[in-house]
Structures are given as structure tokens and as C-alpha cells.
């Protein structure tokens, strides 16, 4: 069933649902479908409509940016049915086993649940996201003198648009009531301040007094930044915000740093992007974080010479390639003069990093004094990278440069900004900066003294409020988060279904 908060009979909410799911993006839709399949009655509350509108998108607009130069927040996420899957690029990969383990040199690292707890949901996540089995994207061989790198592959979704794939199913469902244009403005607690009794919503009508949805359980799946912003705003009964007694809501926010860290010239033909990550032994030996390096070719050999090796390359062909290199606008003459190149040489490229960032309590989502249309305070974002984040970038690119030279693949030149001390991070006009992956601001931890939710995604300070999405990730790994978000939503659905039966 689909309804609109502007026109729905508010009497329909006098009944209590089993679960109220707030947010209809990948996490919320996956959770609602899982619960409905288990026989639960679900209110799926979406702040936007079926199409994007300026009115809804404006609520995501941020206030002050206090840290690293970052994107305007209202372009990072989409606030309508289907959420950010509406512009998702389809990159998927499960986290690595080491991402779940605590690293002794990284405070607050590690998950309070093992990887196997999510592995059980791989096949179902593959089906939801329309990706091939992981067996079709194994690691590729790497010729190397040590045991430094893995050459991994991503699996790509078409990409799946949750709105297109699941709207008809939800509309026909007798178990799910989808309410559009329903903006969460408060969560109400009982007298003990430990149990949510109702969620208060308003439509976009300024005169709307609001309405309350009652349920046995509530799941906030509003987004990696929005989950924290909403909890910090709900101060009508607890001055510090719901779930924030320990002061963790909003802390440890991060994104995957995405930067161009080197330019290179290649002696071997690279036809498409190649992806490299460190082995566990490498991370332990170098006390660094997990990372993904992307070797991206800039131009390829002529199509009529697809199979010619360097050993058989005629001199006239090599001269043409060398001339093209010098004319490449991304590589100046100074670069070619500074490098000692193997001969002959045929291609240029760049090295990008997309890496894990360490949990950093000083990197955070806070509230500004500016308010949105519902009177809630907007975000003040302070994204910071720690010394280990920068050192990981330097270790990654330096070691990969040695690997390229050792294997006679080519030579690279490290970006000047990364060699500076402190590093001069490029801005959003010059580089990718981040993956627009909002992670960690309501982090998972075994105890309330070091996080917001427990291993089942329940807010420590409550009996019945759960969070969905990448805001609960305690550490990030280096891969895009949508696959792990889907696994966690499936696991949360099973957990709540079991609680309801109990």
C-alpha cells in the first residue's frame, strides 16, 4: 500500500505497527521487505516522494563545513523513494576479513561481530543488487617479488534502482504501508527514557500539526549523516539527543578518501583500470590501514596494434608513442625528464587511492545554528583525516612505485600535495576527494562507552530503536559500502523478526 502524508487519513495511525522503518533507501527497503516476508506489519516512512523535488532535497542542505573541503551535502544524497540508489554507480564488494578485526595500532578499530555474521547474507544481497556471484570476480594473479599486493576486482550492479525494482512489490504488499512525504521531526520516549513509544512525522504543509506512528520497534535508516543529525536534534526529552548519553553520536564520521596520488608512464599495455590492495601481512608489517589503488590508463595503443609486445615494437611505432606521451596535457616535459624510463615506453596513466580512514572521534557530524523547514538544526560537518590516513597513502603509493619498477611495469611520480608536510589536500574542484560514502557517525560497538549501537544495530540506550545504513560501520575498509549496508539490513530484518516472534 502507498499513501501520502499530505492526504492520508491520520486515523490510520491509531493502530500500532510491528516495526516503523524510517527512510526508504537501500537499507530501509531491504529491511521492510525482509520483515514483511516474515509476516510483520511495517510502516515504511519516506521523507520524499516518488520523484526528486527541491523542497525535499533542501532538507539535506548542510550548514558550515569546518574540516577538509567537502561536497555540498545536498548533492551527495537523494531524498526521495529509493534514496541514493537513484544515482548509485553500482560498485559492490564485500569487506575484507581484516576489516572486522581490531588493529592494535588503530584505536577503536574492529567490529563487535565477525565477518561470518554477514557472510550468511551474501547470496541474498547478490540477488537484491543484481550482481554476479563473487566466484565470478576472484582475485587476479600478481607477479611480485614479495607478498605485498592483491589484485582484486569489483562486482558491478547494473546498477539496481530500488525505486524501479521494488515499487510495484511494495504497492501490492498487504504487510507494508509506504507513506511518502513523511518527515521525521521527533522520537518520543516513555517515562524511563529508554523505550521509543512513537515517531512524529510532518508533511510539507506548514500548517500540518504532525502525526505519530506507534510500533513495537523503530528502525532509523535515514542516511549516513542524517541518522546522526536527527538523533542530535531530538532533545525534547534528553538534552544531549537520543542515544547520545556517551557523547558518541556524530563522532568518528568519515568518508573513503579518494585522491590522485601519482602519475605514471607504463612499459606494459594496460587496457582498463586495475585494482590493487595490500595483503594482511603488508598491513601488519607497515602498521597501515586497508587501501585500494587504482591504476588508470590515460591512453591506449592504436587499435591496429592490439597484440604487439614491446620486444617486437618497430622503432617508428615507438617514436609515435613517445611523441604522444610528451603531448599528453596531463604529463609535462618535466615529468619525462625526471624519470629514468625503460625503453621503449608506450602509455601514461594515473594512480588513485580509495582507502580506509581510521576512526577519529574529532571528525564529526555536529549541528549548526541554521534550521531547516521543520525547525531542525542543519549539519555542521567537520571531516578530518588523521596522521595514519596520510601515512597509509604515502606507504601505498611508494611501495606500489617500487613494485612497478621491480617488475619493469613502468615508473611513477608521487603527487606534490602528498609529499608536502602537512599534505595540501586537493579540493573538490580538482579531485574526487571522497567517495560520498558517509560512514561511522553512529558507530557500532560492544559497549555504550565506545559507540552508539550494539552488534544488532540497537541503540545502546534504548530497548527498541535500531539504526540501518553505513553510519553504524565502526571501520570502513576500502570498498564502497552499499553491499555491506544490504547485508546488515538483511541481518537486522532477521533479528527483528525473531524478536517479534519471541
The pLDDT tens digits for 376-396 are: 999 999 999 999 999 999 999
Residue 84 pLDDT > 70, yes or no? Answer: yes
| Rounded Cα–Cα distance for residues 95 and 480 (Å) | 9
| Rounded Cα–Cα distance for residues 430 and 258 (Å) | 12
Cell digits of residue 444: 557500532
Number of Cβ within 10 Å of residue 160's Cβ equals 21
Give the side-chain half-sphere CA count within 13 A for 211.
Answer: 22
Cell digits of residue 382: 567537520
| Rounded Cα–Cα distance for residues 310 and 136 (Å) | 31
Residue 299 pLDDT > 90, yes or no? Answer: no
Number of Cβ within 10 Å of residue 136's Cβ equals 9
Task: Please state at what angle helix 26-37 crosses helix 482-501, rounded to 10 degrees.
Answer: 30
467-493 mean pLDDT:
98
Q: Are 181 and 52 in contact (CB under 8 A)?
A: no
| Rounded Cα–Cα distance for residues 48 and 113 (Å) | 33
pTM: predicted TM-score of the whole model, two decimal places: 0.90
pLDDT of residue 51: 97
Tell me the DSSP string of 408-452.
TSEEEEE-HHHHSSS-----TTTS-EE-S--B-TT-B-SSGGG-S
pLDDT tens-place string over residues 192-235: 999 999 999 999 999 999 999 999 999 999 999 999 999 999 99
Residue 304 pLDDT > 60, yes or no? Answer: no
pLDDT of residue 327: 35
Q: Are 228 and 253 in contact (CB under 8 A)?
A: yes
Percent of the chain with pLDDT over 70: 90
**Alpha-carbon dihedral of residues 239, 240, 243, 248, nearest 10 degrees?**
180
Max Cα–Cα distance, the chain, nearest Å: 84
pLDDT of residue 346: 61
pLDDT of residue 63: 85
178-186 mean pLDDT:
98
| Rounded Cα–Cα distance for residues 91 and 130 (Å) | 11
Q: Are 222 and 77 in contact (CB under 8 A)?
A: no
Q: Any idea which residue has 590522485 for its cell? A: 260
pLDDT of residue 298: 85
Distance of alpha carbon 385 from the chain centroid: 16
Residue 249 pLDDT > 50, yes or no? Answer: yes
Backbone angles phi, psi at 299, to 5 degrees: -150, 155
| Rounded Cα–Cα distance for residues 344 and 356 (Å) | 36
E strands, 147-256, are: 149-152, 155-156, 176-180, 183-189, 196-202, 211-220
CATH number of 2-255+359-385+430-501: 3.50.50.60
**Alpha-carbon dihedral of residues 138, 149, 356, 267, nearest 10 degrees?**
-100
H or E element in which residue 19 lies: strand 16-22
- Name the 3-class secondary structure at 17: strand
120-128 mean pLDDT:
97
Distance of alpha carbon 18 from the chain centroid: 29
Give strand pairing partners of 177.
Answer: 43
pLDDT of residue 308: 34
pLDDT of residue 270: 87
pLDDT-derived band at 466, boundaries 50, 70, 90: very high
5-33 mean pLDDT:
95
Q: Are 429 and 441 in contact (CB under 8 A)?
A: no
Domain boundaries, the chain: 2-255+359-385+430-501, 257-355+387-419
pLDDT of residue 45: 98
Amino acid at each position: 500500500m502507498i499513501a501520502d502524508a499530505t492526504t492520508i487519513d491520520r486515523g490510520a495511525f491509531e493502530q500500532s505497527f510491528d516495526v516503523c522503518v524510517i527512510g526508504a533507501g537501500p537499507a530501509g527497503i531491504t529491511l521492510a521487505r525482509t520483515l514483511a516476508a516474515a509476516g510483520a506489519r511495517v510502516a515504511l516512512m519516506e521523507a520524499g516522494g516518488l520523484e526528486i523535488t527541491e523542497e525535499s532535497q533542501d532538507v539535506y542542505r548542510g550548514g558550515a563545513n569546518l574540516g577538509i573541503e567537502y561536497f555540498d551535502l545536498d548533492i551527495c544524497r537523494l531524498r526521495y523513494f529509493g534514496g541514493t540508489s537513484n544515482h548509485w554507480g553500482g560498485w559492490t564488494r564485500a569487506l575484507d576479513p581484516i576489516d572486522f578485526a581490531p588493529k592494535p595500532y588503530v584505536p577503536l578499530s574492529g567490529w563487535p561481530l565477525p565477518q561470518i555474521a554477514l557472510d550468511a547474507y551474501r547470496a541474498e544481497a547478490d540477488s537484491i543488487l543484481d550482481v554476479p556471484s563473487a566466484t565470478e570476480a576472484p582475485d587476479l594473479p600478481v607477479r611480485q617479488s614479495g607478498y605485498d599486493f592483491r589484485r582484486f576486482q569489483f562486482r558491478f550492479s547494473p546498477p539496481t534502482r530500488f525505486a524501479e525494482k521494488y515499487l510495484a512489490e511494495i504497492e501490492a504488499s498487504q504487510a507494508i504501508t509506504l507513506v511518502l512525504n513523511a518527515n521525521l521531526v521527533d522520537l518520543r520516549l516513555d517515562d524511563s527514557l529508554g523505550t521509543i513509544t512513537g515517531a512524529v512525522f510532518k508533511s510539507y504543509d506548514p500548517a500540518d500539526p504532525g502525526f505519530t506512528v506507534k510500533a513495537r520497534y523503530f528502525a532509523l535508516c535515514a542516511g549516513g549523516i542524517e541518522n546522526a543529525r536527527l538523533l542530535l536534534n531530538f532533545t525534547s526529552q534528553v538534552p544531549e539527543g537520543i542515544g547520545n548519553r556517551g557523547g558518541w553520536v556524530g563522532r568518528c564520521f568519515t568518508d573513503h578518501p579518494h585522491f590522485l596520488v601519482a602519475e605514471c608512464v607504463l612499459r606494459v599495455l594496460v587496457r582498463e583500470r586495475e585494482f590493487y590492495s595490500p595483503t594482511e601481512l603488508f598491513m601488519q608489517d607497515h602498521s597501515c590501514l586497508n587501501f585500494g589503488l587504482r591504476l588508470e590508463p590515460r591512453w591506449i595503443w592504436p587499435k591496429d596494434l592490439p597484440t604487439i609486445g614491446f620486444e617486437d615494437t618497430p622503432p617508428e611505432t615507438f617514436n609515435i608513442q613517445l611523441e604522444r606521451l610528451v603531448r599528453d596535457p596531463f604529463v609535462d616535459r618535466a615529468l619525462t625528464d625526471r624519470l629514468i624510463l625503460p625503453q621503449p615506453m608506450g602509455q601514461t596513466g594515473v594512480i588513485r587511492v580509495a582507502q580506509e580512514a581510521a576512526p577519529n572521534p574529532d571528525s564529526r557530524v555536529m549541528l549548526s545554528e541554521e534550521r531547516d523547514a521543520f525547525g531542525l538544526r542543519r549539519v555542521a560537518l567537520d571531516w578530518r583525516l588523521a596522521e595514519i590516513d596520510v601515512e597509509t597513502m604515502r606507504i601505498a603509493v611508494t611501495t606500489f612505485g617500487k613494485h612497478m619498477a621491480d617488475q619493469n611495469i613502468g615508473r611513477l611520480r608521487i603527487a606534490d600535495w602528498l609529499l608536502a608536510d602537512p599534505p595540501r589536500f586537493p579540493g573538490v574542484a580538482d579531485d574526487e576527494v571522497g567517495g560520498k560514502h558517509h560512514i561511522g557517525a553512529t558507530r557500532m560497538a560492544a559497549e555504550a562507552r565506545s559507540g552508539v549501537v550494539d552488534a544488532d544495530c540497537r541503540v545502546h540506550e534504548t530497548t527498541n530503536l535500531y539504526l540501518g545504513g553505513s553510519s553504524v560501520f565502526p571501520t570502513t575498509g576500502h570498498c564502497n559500502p552499499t553491499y555491506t549496508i544490504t547485508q546488515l539490513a538483511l541481518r537486522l530484518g532477521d533479528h527483528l523478526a525473531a524478536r517479534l516472534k519471541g
